[in-house]
Chains A and B, each alone.
Chain A
Amino acid sequence: MKSIFLFAFLSVCCAVAHAQEDSIWGIVKNGVDIDEITVKADKSNNEVQMTLPQNVVKLDKKFIDNNFAGSLMQSLSLIPGVQAMTVGSNHSKPVIRGLGFNRLAVIENGIKHQRQQWGHEHGLEVSQFSLDEVEIIKGPAAMVYGSDALGGVISLKDNSLPQNARKSGVLFFFRSNNSSLGLSTNTEGVKGKFFYKFNFTAEKYSDYKVPVDSIQYYSYYIKLKEHRLRNTAGNNGDASLTFGFSGIKFKSSLSVSDVYDRSGFFANAHGIEIRLSKIDFDKSFSDIDYPFSTANHFMAVCNNSLKIGRSTLKMDFAFQNNRREEFSEPVSHGYMPKPDGFLERSFYKNTYSLNAAYKFMLGQHSLQAGFNSEFQKNKSGGWGYVLPGFETVSNGIYFCDKLHISNGLILSAGLRTDFSSVKIFEYKDWYKTPLQNGDSAFVTRSEDCLKKFSSIVFSFGLNYETGNWVLKGNFGKSFRMPLALELGSDGVNYQIFRYERGNNDLEPEVSYQADFGVNFQKKQFKFYLTPFLNYFPNYIYLSPGFNYVEGLQLYEYTQNQVFRFGGEFQADYALSRKAEFSLGGEYLFARQLSGSKKGYGLPFAEPWSVFVSAKYFVPQKRKRNECYVSVTQKYTGSQKDIVPPEKPTDGYFLTSMSLGKKIIRKKTEFSADLCIDNLFNAVYYNHTSYYRLIDVPEAGRNFSIKIGFIF
């Protein structure tokens, strides 16, 4: 009995923080390249925080390896201020401080990742196993990244110079909840000034389990067989190849990657007439029936940098091709007759990007001038209409100055201007709808339209270091171009059972934000507090109205004033190679100040949360080996600040546990990790989950096993 208590005590007290081990602080240990300053081993967090006026979190491969969750975003959601908006077991969208979709930019090797980010059911189409490093900017970063970066930036990098002359790895992983099986292999090497990297990953998974036996959706009462969410199985794969040259003055790399995903939609919650389906969804948990979607993201990026004396010229080119297709059983609905074929919706998007930046020193000033240019063309197809075809062109130039007043005081300022245009193509129904005068016609859902936008944004920042403290402040204006969907949609959204109407008169969304950062570091103790204030004069909001159109509730795009504030904190105490403790939390508040929903918050609002974690390192005979056990306890508060059609969500406790062992012999490394999520199989709802609206609880207890071999 005593030993059980002892074990429990050890697990709780000592073990947890697998999440935090490398988080904010550990990242600096291995040396990362920030803004042209190479941070060497053992640089403190305070030094990292002096490099940017915004609050920044840098993560390395070790963090991702040690926090292996269902998808990249679920892994990153352990960081205070970062959330994952989940759909099913393997897809999630990034959210920073409550802003997601097109309100944050995902940057891959310096290029804005352009997928179909507007929809709830579209995850992040990147591979998490090939990443070398992740940088998260919590706060506006439009200065360098342009439109969309008003909520923050998630910058992913997988083309950095390998550390070893030759290294290969094989990783095998398994998850119990959705019987997921996966394999990832990689190899990389350096020869003279040249280097290469190759990564391949494949995964297959079945319908995932929830800890309830029935759910209800828009008044439909749905029984689940063996707790499985029908038809949420899927498979995915990705491959990437990088060739690079790394000279003293000139560096260049070319990365080509392709990410493929095929996954089923929860059959009872997609499409309007699924009840008429003749498919026996319960015959197998591992097959993918209709409705399902496929997505493929191809990307080629060429990064170049040239040093000329004390200045650097950088130039990046990229091409991206994104194909997304959604297939359903054809059924008639309203005046639409039964269509031919299964292709309900398709989106094909090509994106061409060019970034250039010139950095130079002038006395105490470090200056940067840059240019971004992007062209996108999106074609929509299939019998179900959501989004018109469109073309966008955006060009932006910026100029930033960083003034080093003294060793501990840096002032920064920036100015940027953007010119963009959106061209929307006409879309007419392919079937006739009866009109009031007795005639019938092909109804126009979106009209030809060309919108031009321009925007000027600015930012001011301060970094101040004194003793063990670093204080930061940043104030800036950011913007976002309205999406074609927001401008031109006019039709039934069958995924969410509502009628959505765009608005051609939308202005570019503007955000003003003040960020503060208080960082403290002394010996084994580290602490940060990062509050922010944010004001949108014209937040683009899809407002649920009270009218019906074609039998469904009408939702219209509006622009309202929104005020938000919030913040995060984290404290860590680490006894090197013995034990680590962390305590952290986040809070967010939003209020609409105008429009028909004045006084309400914003949808999918993340409730406050706190976590404690402890990690204990079991002493090893061989010093290079490692063995740990960790426990994390997280409490998420209830969310009562809701907007129609949301439901209040109760708070919940979640416990996770992990243990692992690493054996290192010369150049080979063997590791095995076991992670248990939702240890007590709690039934809980995540307010930011897409399936929350249809009362689907989050996944039950899950065991993940990961076995890796590096040679």
Chain B
Amino acid sequence: MIKKIFTVCAAVLVLCGAMSCNKDEEDTEKPTFDNTDATPVEGGKYLPGGKIIVHQTFSDNEELGSFNIEIHNNFDHHSHSTETAKSISKHEDHDHDHEHGDVENAWVFNQDYEIPAGKKVYTADLTIDIPETIAEGDYHFMIRVTDKAGWQEIKAVSLEIED
């Protein structure tokens, strides 16, 4: 009786073992940004009422999903890890600077965009109009991209919007 039970258990275990090894390789890679000739560039200067020319290339090992662009103020000089080391050290100099600027009139831009199905590489070219009546100062340009599997990658770029 016990021997039989053990035999059945062993068979089930082997089956389970085989299943866990036989796993198809699932997508565990995030999409990536190609930073060569991407715009806007780190530390780019813009005028209120001007235009931000966006040129971004995304790629994924399997298939891209969609992307989003968000612009928020950086009046407090916070850091994003995806910025270059140079700009982070610049922020650190301002670490104890708690002047928050005209947050009430800060510009907020937030837009979702689709990527056509089946793309492994996609280049987005678009133009964002900067409103004329916004608080001037440092801004962060955030770009997020997903792949079909649901992985997300984020990039941050610092901008200055000043007359």
| A218 to B88 CA separation, bound complex (whole angstroms) | 15
> Given A276-B76, A548-B112, A589 and B156 touching (CB < 8 A)?
no
Interchain nearest-CB distance for A204 vs B (Å): 29
| A629 to B113 CA separation, bound complex (whole angstroms) | 62
Binds A, one of B19-27, B39-47, B48-56, B128-136: B19-27
From 34 to 92 in chain B, residues with beta carbon under 8 angstroms from any chain A beta carbon are 65-68, 70, 76, 78-83, 88
Interchain nearest-CB distance for A497 vs B (Å): 10
In the complex, residue of chain A having the shortest beta-carbon distance to the beta carbon of B73: A276
Interchain nearest-CB distance for B63 vs A (Å): 9
> Given A549-B112, A551-B112, A644-B150, A221 and B9 touching (CB < 8 A)?
no
Q: Does A61 contact B (CB under 8 A)?
A: no
Q: Does B146 contact A (CB under 8 A)?
A: yes
Q: Does B13 contact A (CB under 8 A)?
A: yes
| A216 to B78 CA separation, bound complex (whole angstroms) | 12
The total of chain A residues at the interface (CB under 8 A) is 40
B82 near A219 (CB under 8 angstroms)?
Answer: yes
Chain A 595-634 near chain B by CB (<8 Å), digits 1 or 0: 0110110000000000000000000000000000000000
A-chain residues with CB within 8 Å of residue B161 when the two chains form the complex: none
A547 near B65 (CB under 8 angstroms)?
Answer: yes
A645 near B150 (CB under 8 angstroms)?
Answer: yes
In the complex, residue of chain B having the shortest beta-carbon distance to the beta carbon of A544: B150
A599 near B150 (CB under 8 angstroms)?
Answer: no
| A642 to B25 CA separation, bound complex (whole angstroms) | 12
In the complex, residue of chain A having the shortest beta-carbon distance to the beta carbon of B156: A219
In the complex, residue of chain B having the shortest beta-carbon distance to the beta carbon of A464: B1
Q: Does A448 contact B (CB under 8 A)?
A: no
A551 near B70 (CB under 8 angstroms)?
Answer: yes
Interchain nearest-CB distance for B140 vs A (Å): 10
In the complex, residue of chain B having the shortest beta-carbon distance to the beta carbon of A498: B152
A553 near B9 (CB under 8 angstroms)?
Answer: no
> Given A220-B78, A471-B5, A533 and B152 touching (CB < 8 A)?
no
Chain B 98-122 near chain A by CB (<8 Å), digits 1 or 0: 1010010000101111000000000
A-chain residues with CB within 8 Å of residue B103 when the two chains form the complex: 276
B146 near A546 (CB under 8 angstroms)?
Answer: yes
Q: Does B127 contact A (CB under 8 A)?
A: no
From 534 to 575 in chain A, residues with beta carbon under 8 angstroms from any chain B beta carbon are 543-551, 553, 563, 565
B156 near A546 (CB under 8 angstroms)?
Answer: no
In the complex, residue of chain A having the shortest beta-carbon distance to the beta carbon of B153: A219
Interchain nearest-CB distance for B11 vs A (Å): 12
| A180 to B147 CA separation, bound complex (whole angstroms) | 44
Interface centre among B81, B88, B151 (most CB of A within 10 A): B81
Partner of B2, one of A471, A547, A589: A471
Partner of B76, one of A275, A551, A642, A645: A275
A-chain residues with CB within 8 Å of residue B24 when the two chains form the complex: 599
Q: Does A523 contact B (CB under 8 A)?
A: no
B-chain residues with CB within 8 Å of residue A516 when the two chains form the complex: 9
Interchain nearest-CB distance for B35 vs A (Å): 15
Partner of B150, one of A278, A469, A546: A546
> Given A219-B81, A548-B144, A553-B144, A334 and B151 touching (CB < 8 A)?
no
Partner of B66, one of A531, A544, A546, A645: A546
B-chain residues with CB within 8 Å of residue A591 when the two chains form the complex: 19-20, 23
> Given A471-B5, A565-B16, A219 and B149 touching (CB < 8 A)?
no
From 127 to 182 in chain A, residues with beta carbon under 8 angstroms from any chain B beta carbon are none
Interchain nearest-CB distance for A650 vs B (Å): 15
A-chain residues with CB within 8 Å of residue B26 when the two chains form the complex: 599-600
| A551 to B67 CA separation, bound complex (whole angstroms) | 9
B-chain residues with CB within 8 Å of residue A471 when the two chains form the complex: 2, 5
A-chain residues with CB within 8 Å of residue B111 when the two chains form the complex: 551
B-chain residues with CB within 8 Å of residue A407 when the two chains form the complex: none
Interchain nearest-CB distance for A134 vs B (Å): 29
A-chain residues with CB within 8 Å of residue B148 when the two chains form the complex: 546
Q: Does A341 contact B (CB under 8 A)?
A: no
Interchain nearest-CB distance for A360 vs B (Å): 31
Chain A 635-655 near chain B by CB (<8 Å), digits 1 or 0: 000001011110010000000
Q: Does A466 contact B (CB under 8 A)?
A: yes
B-chain residues with CB within 8 Å of residue A469 when the two chains form the complex: 2
A-chain residues with CB within 8 Å of residue B80 when the two chains form the complex: 219-221
| A563 to B5 CA separation, bound complex (whole angstroms) | 22
Interchain nearest-CB distance for A8 vs B (Å): 37
B-chain residues with CB within 8 Å of residue A553 when the two chains form the complex: 144, 146, 150, 152
Interface centre among A543, A545, A546, A553 (most CB of B within 10 A): A546
Partner of B110, one of A278, A550, A640, A648: A550
| A547 to B2 CA separation, bound complex (whole angstroms) | 54
In the complex, residue of chain A having the shortest beta-carbon distance to the beta carbon of B16: A565
Interchain nearest-CB distance for A694 vs B (Å): 11
In the complex, residue of chain B having the shortest beta-carbon distance to the beta carbon of A564: B16
> Given A549-B112, A553-B152, A589 and B20 touching (CB < 8 A)?
yes
> Given A221-B88, A546-B66, A642-B28, A466 and B2 touching (CB < 8 A)?
yes
> Given A275-B76, A276-B100, A549-B112, A648 and B23 touching (CB < 8 A)?
no
In the complex, residue of chain B having the shortest beta-carbon distance to the beta carbon of A567: B13
Interchain nearest-CB distance for B1 vs A (Å): 8
| A531 to B19 CA separation, bound complex (whole angstroms) | 16
In the complex, residue of chain B having the shortest beta-carbon distance to the beta carbon of A334: B110
A-chain residues with CB within 8 Å of residue B82 when the two chains form the complex: 219
Interface centre among B24, B65, B113, B146 (most CB of A within 10 A): B146
Interface centre among A278, A550, A551, A643 (most CB of B within 10 A): A551
Q: Does B12 contact A (CB under 8 A)?
A: yes
A residues apposed to B, CB below 8 Å: 216, 218-221, 275-276, 278, 334, 464, 466, 469, 471, 516, 531, 533, 543-551, 553, 563, 565, 589, 591, 596-597, 599-600, 640, 642-645, 648
| Chain A to chain B: the 3 pairs with minimum beta-carbon distance, closest first | A546-B65, A544-B150, A548-B112
28 sample A-B contacts, Cβ–Cβ < 8 Å, listed by A number: A219-B80, A219-B142, A219-B154, A219-B155, A219-B156, A220-B80, A221-B81, A276-B103, A466-B1, A466-B2, A469-B2, A471-B2, A531-B12, A544-B150, A544-B152, A546-B66, A546-B146, A546-B147, A546-B149, A546-B150, A547-B66, A548-B66, A551-B70, A551-B110, A551-B111, A553-B152, A589-B19, A645-B151
Q: A221-B81, A547-B112 are in contact. List 17 more A-B contacts (CB 8 A).
A: A218-B154, A219-B142, A276-B76, A471-B5, A531-B9, A531-B13, A533-B16, A544-B152, A546-B150, A547-B146, A548-B67, A551-B68, A551-B111, A553-B150, A599-B24, A643-B150, A645-B150
